[in-house]
Amino acid sequence: MLKLSKKVDYALMALMHLAQQEGSCSTREMAAGYGMPQDLLAKVLQKLAREGLVVSHQGTKGGYQLARAADAINVVQVIEIVEEGPLALTQCLTELGACDQFDTCNIKSPLQRLNDHVLLTLSRVTIASMCDEDFQFLTAVDTNTNQDVHLPVIQS
């Protein structure tokens, strides 16, 4: 299953929050506001700061703010910073290299094209565009609780 880690979720949530703020916002405020573990969010924000996506301000009115415009930060950048490596659908498309079937594999070329399409699509999604999205909701049923769950659907 292709899915983003919670660390990436938290990074994207924090970046969207910061994009919508004037001034800086503390890790504590963001963690409390979104129900995130403060320690994990702090580690994620430190990674983003090391790579120049956010800046940290010390002091009583300190916190984080975006280091560049929200339209200059895309989802691929965030994923690759947080996960500490390139985004790839399979191991053979990473620097780690080939699997045992690499020489006889009949799907590596189609997977490479799919990977390229995913990267291109995600590189076009910026924090600014995420903030501006017009969301509609799709209703699904959580099979564990039998409750309705409203899932956002991005309209393009």
Q: Does domain 6-130 have CATH number 1.10.10.10?
A: yes
Per-domain residue ranges of the chain:
6-130
Print pLDDT tens along the chain (156 aa): 568 899 999 999 999 999 998 889 999 999 999 999 999 999 999 999 999 999 999 888 789 999 999 999 999 999 999 998 888 887 776 666 667 777 888 888 888 898 888 899 889 999 999 988 765 555 555 566 666 655 555 444
pTM, two decimal places: 0.79
The answer to whether the CB of 34 falls within 8 A of the CB of 18 is no
